[in-house]
Structures are given as C-alpha cells and as structure tokens.
Amino acid sequence: MVFTNNGIVVPDLDLSGDYPDDTTYVQLISTESCTGTSDTLDVVFIVTGVDMSIICTKTYPELPDVLFIEESVYDHATIVQGCTNGGAQIVASYSNSDINDTLRTYTCADLPNTPIPVVIYFWYVGDPAPFTFCNSLVGLQNQFAPFCTTPPAIISGSVMTEGNQAVPNVEVTLEGSNAPDANTTMNGQYKFPEMQGGGEYNVVPKRDDHPLEGVSTLDLIYIQKHILNSEILSSPYKIIAADVNNDERSQHQISCSCVN
C-alpha cells in the first residue's frame, strides 16, 4: 500500500516539516498495489507559532529594616520563550560574561545614586555570549520607614572560651530580627548586617558538633570535689559544664547518714 500527498509519496506516514501559522489541510490517498483501489484520508493541521518576546521593566524596591535588599534579574526581565534558535531556552543575566550572575544587593549607600542604571543581558542556554540586552533602572526607595535616615546599628562580637580562645564555626542567631544567621570566623568573630536601632534582640550562639571536646575522666574528679565542698569549681562556666543532664544543678542532691 502506497500513501501519497498531492502526488508525492509519503513514506511511513511521516508528515513532519515546516508549515505556516495557519490551518493546513493534507489529503492522503492510499493505493493498493495489487488491485489499484484507493481510499482518501483527510488530515487537518492547525499550527500556531509563538514568537519570542522580551520585556524590560524598571523596579522600585523599598529598603526594609535590615537595610539591604536583593533583586533578581527577573524582577526586570519578562521572557516569553519562542521557537527561535531551535527552541533554545532564553535566560537573563546582569553580566555579559557570566550567565549565572542573576542577583544584585542594594543598601543605604546606594540611595544617593538612585535611579541606578542596570543592563540586562539575554542568553540562549549553551551559547558562549548573550545575543541581546536592554537598559533598565532601579529606583531604590526608603519612604515608608526611613531606616536609612538615622545612623544604622551594627551588632557584632566574638565567641571565646573561658581561657580567651576563639571558637570558630559557631552559628549565631539574632532573635527578634529578620537578619540571617551569622557564623563565627576562625578568630571567633561574628557580625550581622546593619539595621535600624531601637529594637530588642537576643544574641544566641550555638555549636554542638563536638560535645565531648576537652572532656576527660579528670572532670569527674573535679565535679565530685565540688559536690563534697572540698574544692569548689572556680567559675560559673565550669559549673555550667558540670551540669551534665541540664537540670541546672551540678548533680542530683544525695542524702546520706554517716556512721563511724
């Protein structure tokens, strides 16, 4: 059996090809080779092509109380993916050399420069360079709560042992704020982003990855001497460390009667 379309043989019923954005009618005629009888099959294609489009917009971000704000490149760029370049995906970037450069951070220091010009580059994924770009603006604002008009507060410090040894890799939380957690450096120091003064916060350090670090059987002897009042632990840090079950006591009270 042979299928033809307008006299052209269609092998394996393969109707792939380029069609206009419209309704296309295809008539397949099947002919039986032995008997010469034929039959007709009408096929209708409705092809709708989507053109690629890119829209660039200005933004007007408001600085919050943490005094910084991040903007994605997609806050500026709206992309409608199309069929151009083989249907390759289109992405946006702030850089003409780095396709992954998609974030910008703005602070109070950027307010005097507003509106801030930015360039948005558009790439086909897999290509070595962008194929076009657009210019946009960032209208940074601080209107509803003018946190930038007063000197910002900076909360920083260091985490040290009783022997004044720096403790790195401590996760420090600023409870009562939206600030991200900070981690201490090798020098034990931490610092939170600038914020408006006047708030009430709790600085909470946490590190529990090596709970037995520095612990030995000798500590049991010191705890026993402290309980028996023969040698009192010399600092509140040692007393806290002796509270092994976190009941806010060095050890459960023990009552006994001693007989000579």
User: Pick the residue with more confidence: 219 or 249?
Assistant: 219
* One-letter-per-residue 3-state SS of 207-229: CCCCCCCCCCCHHHHHHHHHHCC
Q: What percent of the chain has pLDDT over 70?
A: 70
Instruction: Give the span between the Cα atoms of 24 and 16, in whole angstroms.
Output: 13
Same domain for 142 and 81, yes or no, is yes
User: pTM surpassing 0.85?
Assistant: no
Same domain for 63 and 80, yes or no, is yes
Same domain for 188 and 222, yes or no, is no
Q: pLDDT (tens digit, 9 = 90+) per residue, 72-81?
A: 999 999 888 8
- CATH code for the domain in which residue 137 is found: 2.60.40
The number of distinct structural domains making up the chain is 4
User: Pick the residue with more confidence: 235 or 35?
Assistant: 235
Same domain for 136 and 192, yes or no, is no
Same domain for 143 and 156, yes or no, is no
pLDDT number for residue 67: 80
Same domain for 156 and 198, yes or no, is yes
Instruction: Give the span between the Cα atoms of 174 and 180, in whole angstroms.
Output: 8
Query: Please, are residues 164 and 140 in contact by the beta-carbon 8 Å criterion?
Result: no
Per the structure, the complete domain to which residue 99 belongs is given by: 53-147
Residues ≥6 apart with Cβ < 8 Å to 237: 162
Q: pLDDT (tens digit, 9 = 90+) per residue, 98-155?
A: 999 999 999 888 988 889 999 999 999 989 999 999 999 999 988 766 667 666 678 8
